[in-house]
């Protein structure tokens, strides 16, 4: 007892607290790192969300709010804050959660983890300040020879170095857990998914370094040229793969939510882990769909990547899309919800924002992001919508409906468990995932509709006002873009509600019991709500309702694929 008291009194001692609400055990240093990274992520989301107002109201033809130079500045900052800073800060918190917390061990090298965090914050601030000064409105892709200032590239490089260090701290924590024998057998599936995300992150960051460092040298005058075709090819190895970090991370959270809310185990550990591995092998190659109109890449390379390799990555997502609701169904049926095909789904806790947000995200990611992504990745069909506003319609379905909504849903679990606060305004918390999720469904659909009609991806003025060769769009295109504006404002309202609930809960939510500190990790209590997320095991395949849902998805996929081939045939009439 005296030794325990001495350990707790020591400023450098590793201490753990067991959350009385979840059974999760948080190590002190890892907990603080998770809190700081998650809070910084929400700040980046707030900045990006405010900027989204300018983007939406400018692309809305009836409003057309911002001047051209301001619009491109705002669009650049919005893309980087949302796609890079918000997501990666949150994902670093997820990596520490999936290693230190789920494996019940101390975090490796906490001082180095703080250096990583500091580099990420400095890089994010440097990049944002430079963009807002107005000299680096190059959009997220920043294609050469359109150059930003050196500070723009340096900020991204510093952020990437910090994120890379955080990944290695995560890998080191896995070694600590293995050495200290804090778990039995294989790591939990949620942790395995986080490992996949971290491996993809290392590939992604290295790809970014290969092209952004020479571009930085070009900006400061050390080299004379960066070839644009090489830049685009390598940049998309970085740009598209960064989305796959998001995919692996948010699917890991889907499994975690299923385990925590329902006590669900995966239908098959081996199948789910195999699907995660397919991401490592094939998702980076699927970035070819961004290059299908580029002359610098051979037709053979395009065909192999988009007609073969991409489908292995799609197969992985379809497996997860089947096994996660399937695991929930098996768990619900074990509790007695066996009437018909869908009682298990009707009796799910739809008033719990952690579950509702996750499930809305899962459905939207599959039906909107997944189907449209496969269509975009087919070389012939890609020509219909390449560089149109269909493209951001697709990636809002994957990145916003898929990843952002999942992170929002998981936040409602973390507020009482990690931040030790009660969520304020529980009634608003119940409706927030529905408002944000369904608004984004609508936003993505009408944006993809406008893109199918040919509306350009990034142009400030779709009407090309004042141009010598202005193009007269059909009325439907203007209607679609007006609906994009309405859907965007509704989604921004849902995002603002999330910010209010999150920040308000952390600042003035009721304080909750933190749990008893302990100088070392303790075994997982078998009755802990989080136990299913921390162990290895499979649940079986008795899920007839999920099979029916999978068939509905397959029919939607076939129908949409046929419609686009029909549309392509009408564009290219043959006699």
φ/ψ (deg, to 5) at 7: -65, -40
Written as six digits, the tokens of 265 are: 């185990």
Q: Where are the alpha helices (DSSP H) in 343-457?
A: 343-346, 353-364, 371-376, 379-385, 390-395, 405-417, 426-452
Using DSSP, state whether 520 is helix, strand or coil. Answer: coil
What does the pLDDT look like over 419-446, one tens digit per residue? Answer: 999 999 999 999 999 999 999 999 999 9
Give the separation between CA 397 and CA 363, rounded to whole angstroms. Answer: 10
Q: What pLDDT is recorded for position 314?
A: 84
Q: What pLDDT is recorded for position 537?
A: 63
User: How many residues are present in the chain?
Assistant: 575
What does the pLDDT look like over 205-224, one tens digit per residue? Answer: 998 889 999 999 999 999 99
Give the separation between CA 397 and CA 391, rounded to whole angstroms. Answer: 10
Q: What pLDDT is recorded for position 365?
A: 94
Give the separation between CA 146 and CA 148, rounded to whole angstroms. Answer: 7
CA 536 to chain CA centroid, Å, is 25
pLDDT category at 13 given cuts 50, 70, 90 is low
Using DSSP, state whether 26 is helix, strand or coil. Answer: strand
Using DSSP, state whether 184 is helix, strand or coil. Answer: coil
Region at 292 (left for phi over 0; alpha for psi -120 to 50; beta for the rest): alpha
Q: What pTM did the predictor assign?
A: 0.93
Quick check: 521 and 16 in contact, CB under 8 A?
Answer: yes
Q: In what order do the strands lie in the sheet with 517-518?
A: 25-27, 16-18, 517-518
Q: What pLDDT is recorded for position 236?
A: 87
Mean pLDDT in residue range 100-129: 96
Instruction: Output helix, strand, coil percentages for the chain, rounded to the nearest 5.
Output: 70, 0, 25
Written as six digits, the tokens of 116 are: 């990583």
In DSSP notation, 258-272 reads HHHHH-PPPS-HHHH
Measured CA to CA in angstroms, residue 437 lies from 90, 319, 368, 397 at distances of 19, 23, 12, 10
Dihedral of the alpha carbons of 432, 438, 442, 444, in degrees to the nearest 10: 80
Using DSSP, state whether 347 is helix, strand or coil. Answer: coil
Written as six digits, the tokens of 311 are: 């489908």
Quick check: 27 and 534 in contact, CB under 8 A?
Answer: no
Mean pLDDT in residue range 106-131: 97
Give the separation between CA 552 and CA 491, rounded to whole angstroms. Answer: 27
Longest pairwise C-alpha distance within the chain: 91
Sign of CA dihedral 288, 291, 293, 294: negative
Query: How far does the chain reach from its first CA to its final CA, in angstroms?
Result: 89
Of 561, 511, 547, 483, the closest CA to residue 59 belongs to: 483
Q: What pLDDT is recorded for position 6?
A: 38
pLDDT category at 5 given cuts 50, 70, 90 is very low
pLDDT category at 2 given cuts 50, 70, 90 is very low
Of 209, 199, 211, the closest CA to residue 174 belongs to: 199
């Amino acid at each position: 007892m005296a030794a325990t008291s001495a350990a707790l009194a020591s400023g450098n001692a590793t201490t753990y607290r067991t959350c009385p609400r979840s059974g999760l055990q948080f190590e002190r240093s890892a907990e603080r790192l998770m809190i700081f990274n998650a809070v910084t992520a929400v700040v980046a989301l707030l900045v990006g969300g405010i900027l989204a107002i300018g983007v939406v109201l400018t692309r809305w033809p009836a409003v057309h709010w911002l001047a051209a130079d301001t619009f491109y500045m705002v669009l650049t900052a919005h893309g980087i804050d949302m796609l890079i800073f918000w997501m990666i800060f949150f994902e670093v918190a997820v990596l520490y959660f999936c290693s230190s917390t789920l494996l019940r061990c101390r975090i490796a090298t906490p001082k180095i983890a703080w250096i990583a965090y500091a580099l990420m914050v400095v890089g994010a601030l440097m990049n944002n300040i430079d963009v807002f000064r107005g000299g680096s409105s190059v959009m997220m892709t920043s294609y050469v020879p359109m150059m930003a200032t050196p500070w723009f590239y340096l900020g991204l490089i510093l952020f990437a170095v910090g994120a890379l260090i955080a990944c290695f701290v995560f890998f080191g924590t896995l070694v600590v857990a293995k050495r200290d024998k804090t778990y039995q057998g294989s790591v939990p599936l949620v942790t395995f998914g986080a490992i996949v995300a971290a491996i993809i992150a290392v590939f992604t960051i290295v790809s970014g370094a290969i092209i952004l460092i020479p571009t930085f040298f070009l900006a400061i005058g050390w080299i004379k040229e960066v070839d644009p075709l090489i830049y685009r090819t390598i940049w998309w190895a970085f740009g598209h793969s960064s989305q796959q970090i998001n995919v692996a991370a948010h699917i890991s959270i889907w499994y975690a939510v299923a385990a925590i809310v329902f006590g669900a185990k995966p239908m098959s550990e081996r199948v789910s882990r195999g699907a995660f591995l397919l991401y490592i092998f094939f998702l980076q190659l699927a970035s070819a769909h961004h290059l299908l109109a580029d002359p610098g890449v051979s037709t053979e390379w395009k065909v192999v990547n988009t007609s073969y390799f991409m489908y292995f990555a799609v197969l992985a997502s379809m497996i997860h899309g089947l096994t996660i609701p399937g695991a929930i169904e098996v768990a619900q049926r074990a509790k007695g919800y066996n009437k018909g095909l869908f009682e298990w789904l009707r009796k799910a806790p739809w008033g719990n924002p952690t579950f509702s947000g996750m499930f809305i995200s899962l459905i939207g990611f599959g039906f909107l992001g997944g189907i449209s992504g496969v269509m975009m990745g087919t070389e012939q069909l890609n020509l219909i919508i390449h560089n149109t506003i269909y493209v951001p319609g697709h990636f809002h379905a994957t990145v916003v409906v898929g990843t952002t909504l999942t992170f929002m849903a998981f936040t409602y679990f973390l507020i009482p468990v990690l931040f030790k606060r009660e969520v304020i305004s529980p009634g608003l918390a119940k409706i927030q995932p529905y408002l944000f999720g369904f608004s984004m469904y609508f936003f993505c659909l009408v944006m993809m509709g406008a893109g199918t009609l040919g509306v350009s991806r990034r142009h400030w003025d779709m009407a090309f006002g004042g141009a010598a060769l202005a193009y007269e769009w059909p009325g439907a295109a203007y209607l679609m873009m007006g609906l994009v504006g309405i859907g965007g404002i509704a989604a921004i309202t849902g995002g603002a509600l999330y910010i209010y609930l999150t920040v308000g809960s952390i600042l003035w939510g009721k304080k909750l019991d933190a749990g008893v500190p302990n100088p070392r990790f303790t075994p997982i209590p078998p009755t802990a709500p989080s136990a299913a997320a921390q162990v290895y095991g499979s649940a079986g395949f008795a899920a007839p309702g999920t099979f029916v849902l999978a068939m509905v998805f397959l029919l939607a996929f076939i129908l949409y694929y046929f419609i686009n081939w029909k549309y392509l045939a009408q564009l290219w009439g043959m006699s």
